Structure 1
């Protein structure tokens, strides 16, 4: 139902802004002091093309030219995917980002495993946009990168000489000075765009003070949806059985058809995306194959993922299907060379 309402809102917004824009004049409301943006880009094993497209999409955002902003790039380890000639960090530092001042901190910050993470920090510009690059020497997962970025921005906003943080003081001061140089004296709030391991974060946001009502409601819906996944699958199976046994009767029932139409709206909207979003016929074919595969298997896959997640919730090697390379070219996550103090 919420997804149906979301689709209606998108359609209404499109009609108002695109179709009736000539008859509706909106008074532009500009704040006295522009908001300050830190645009977070967490990376792991992205290719040269993927990195370039992601950065260009941040550069291409409209109507924010007056806002001080910085791209905050956090790379998790040194990894290669199939067909990659370089690691993600090498692509960024050697082929994409303009060179700038850099510094390596052997005890950069305390990672999720409790050990200090060697970290390289570089600042500079990408197509005129300032960036702060943070490269972690070893793999700890994108969730660790999100913790790094969010914790840093929080402590930067409430910074005090007497507060202990997870960061090396020199690293904190180095990145903080880079933010100051680009007009980011304060960052008023964090806006969550996406999060790995989102259910844990959503559950925390339900009870955390200072969260606006809409965000809290969205978190409640996300957590409840996660909990009722097995019941959703059971309902889908039961629906299929009922359609097989009493399909002729149900299609004549107006209440049933109304509910089915509402549920089908989201799938129809997703189907339509395949006609305008893909850039060529190959991508369009990929989208539709994935769409129908998801349509058929998603209820069952969700339960499989749910069960697997519960039994492997403490495994930090999820998705670690790429080769992890240390500075000497050996495999490993660096536990032998890291300490707690």
Structure 2
């Protein structure tokens, strides 16, 4: 019997087998095919995919200009001319071919992932219990077990002394700083999902309140991932942003197929621009939820393409969409974006946060900087949950991340809630951002690749960059403080830590085996993976240590205790130099006590919960959603009240559609009821079935709903502009859908082919020839 993996790869291989360039038509012997020469009206709307991306032509440039010109016909001539200029710089690339996702394909993928999860659980349990049994049954061979127990502690000791040494060294011999010749030009990015009015407003206000940036050109870009409403919210986050928070607006419009999402499907978006308390903003509301990663790819890629726009590079964006964003930056006085500052919508920056991030970015070779993320207590200064998580944040940032910053310059995680990236090839180039970070997994991918694609996207981006671009340097700015919300319940805490621990471990495993990784970071990655998988044994070894005191020489016990106490002593000393005042010092010390005594039990609970839910790739309970607005109306839509959904499941997302083997698009006009014709082309090509009568749309969509085919039923005649081959069918009564044929001739690209399929007589064809030729 074949394994699910072999079956999956056979499915992929079958999907990638070469298909005939033109499938045979299921037509009768009496059918006659008559080509019609096309005349192209000068006012027609052309689709931006009209020319091949590798061979830009005058027609494609004209297409881009007409696309923008049609949308902006009512706008001033100067703005229209600038939009056309930016649109000419856009060379939209075709979507990549992906395997068609059938129900059987998805089922095999889920089965394979489940089997991999069970194998990993069995391996972890066996390894832990074998070591526990061996350490108790053969205690005299304790030296064989010590490496498993003390490796992480020994590495922590080395990092403690390295941090002290390099801190003193940099005090005596300061590192070289490269000052910019002109003030940095900044884009401030705020990703949103289901945050409420207060969270979004506080985050935006903290961006506006930034100090020491008077000479810097800056603009705010907001991207909202879908239109959803969280628990306790009267509106969706998109409605709060567009109507309530960003009330000062100069433009709002819907852009169909604005860009190609990371799953290679077109993404519609509502855009709005204006000014928020004196700073220009550009808000993008995606009509479908595709995750934070998709939004980060789109915005980072845009900024890099904007900087290289004179080269007319290939990009993900429709010319009209790129032109609007580029015009926004130009109006803000930004000609070349130097840095992107990212935050989360539930985070608040300190007033000098961005200026401190900029200071650290001026060291040679630095392409990324993260700040110091602290817990926002919100008046609950002695809440045990907040104290524990606050000390956990401080210890991780005050030792390992600090060591990565000042010793190796390889900070492997730049948290998205407080992050600065230099816009360059290393961070935002197509290889790292689109090809590696932008890879959307298929059901045939293994569980580790699925985890890296859906959890800890900020860490994954940096790890991929450190491997693909080994010369890149990343740092931490401890003085750049950002306050963030933390879970206040056990269930939400477990859900959050499941994503974090699985994402960190999967990316550490990648760092351990990937090329180009710095040697010390490779050792740390291995130690982290080993410690994570042997957590149960390490906890049980504490009892073994007490038992070993009866027969192990005292000097060995003393040496072991000294190694164990060195990191703990450093943790206590952090209270001297990292907290800013007496209250923060007391909070940290109290949380450190919780961390020391309760940490092992919490870590084991997180481990067990994480491996049990290893095949759950959503956000779980961290971000609860109660409803989703899927309408295409850019105006506010009333959202009914619903009970909160609190379950371990992915956030609402569109179902990926099968992707055709070939990139050409075929349009069927007058054949909405011909299932056999649509199935023939839909098996190999992206196929549009044009049904102009909205009353018949539901019936036509039900008829062509086979998930194995790439068939789209539409009433929007502008979609016909994507097609390169048009099949216009006549009925047995020799009549033709003249409305459909007129739509074809209005939107067909130069060089497109129109084929009339006659049902038995040539009267209709003769009439068409007389009318249109």
Which band: TM-score by shorter chain? Answer: 0.7 to 0.9
Query: 1:75 and 1:226, CA in 2 relative to 1: closer, same or farther beyond 3 A?
Result: farther
What is the CA-CA distance between 1:41 and the residue it aligns to? 0.9
Q: Counterpart of 2:284?
A: 134
Deviation track 1:89-134 (CA, whole Å, cap 9, x = no partner) reads 1111222123211221011111122111111111112221221111
Give 5+ residue unaligned stretches, structure 1.
Answer: 17-27
Deviation track 1:202-223 (CA, whole Å, cap 9, x = no partner) reads 3311222375234675976885
Contact residue 189 and residue 221 of structure 2 kept, 8 A: yes
Q: Counterpart of 2:90?
A: none
Query: 1:220 and 1:46, CA in 2 relative to 1: closer, same or farther beyond 3 A?
Result: farther
Q: Counterpart of 1:20?
A: none
Q: Does 1:204 align with 2:464?
A: yes
What is the CA-CA distance between 1:302 and the residue it aligns to? 4.4
Query: 1:267 and 1:286, CA in 2 relative to 1: closer, same or farther beyond 3 A?
Result: closer
Q: Counterpart of 1:194?
A: 415
Q: Counterpart of 2:300?
A: 150
Deviation track 1:61-89 (CA, whole Å, cap 9, x = no partner) reads 22222111111111000111110111111
Match of 1:241 among 524, 529, 543: 543
Give 5+ residue unaligned stretches, structure 2.
Answer: 1-155, 172-176, 341-367, 370-413, 417-455, 476-516, 632-636, 643-651, 658-700, 702-710, 713-718, 723-773
Over the aligned positions, Cα root-mean-square deviation in angstroms equals: 4.4
- Measure the CA separation in 2 of the matches of 1:71 and 1:117: 21
- Measure the CA separation in 1 of the matches of 2:282 and 2:619: 26
Q: Does 1:305 align with 2:610?
A: yes
Deviation track 1:28-70 (CA, whole Å, cap 9, x = no partner) reads 9964310011111111011111112211222232222211111
SS at match of 1:139: coil
- Measure the CA separation in 2 of the matches of 1:254 and 1:62: 51
Q: If the length of structure 1 is used for normalisation, what is the TM-score? A: 0.74
The worse-fitting range, judged by mean Cα deviation, of 218-227 and 113-122 is 218-227
- Measure the CA separation in 2 of the matches of 1:103 and 1:154: 24
Contact residue 106 and residue 117 of structure 1 kept, 8 A: yes
Contact residue 160 and residue 570 of structure 2 kept, 8 A: yes
- Measure the CA separation in 2 of the matches of 1:42 and 1:304: 28
Question: For residues 30-41 of structure 1, what are the structure 2 equivalents within 5 Å?
Answer: 31-41=180-190
- Measure the CA separation in 2 of the matches of 1:219 and 1:91: 43
Contact residue 199 and residue 222 of structure 1 kept, 8 A: no
- Measure the CA separation in 2 of the matches of 1:213 and 1:156: 24
Q: Counterpart of 1:57?
A: 206
Q: Counterpart of 1:296?
A: 601
The worse-fitting range, judged by mean Cα deviation, of 331-340 and 226-235 is 331-340
- Measure the CA separation in 1 of the matches of 2:226 and 2:554: 55
Contact residue 465 and residue 472 of structure 2 kept, 8 A: no
Query: 1:31 and 1:205, CA in 2 relative to 1: closer, same or farther beyond 3 A?
Result: closer
Q: Does 1:184 align with 2:356?
A: no
Alignment: residue pair count? 321
Query: 1:155 and 1:243, CA in 2 relative to 1: closer, same or farther beyond 3 A?
Result: same
- Measure the CA separation in 1 of the matches of 2:596 and 2:241: 32
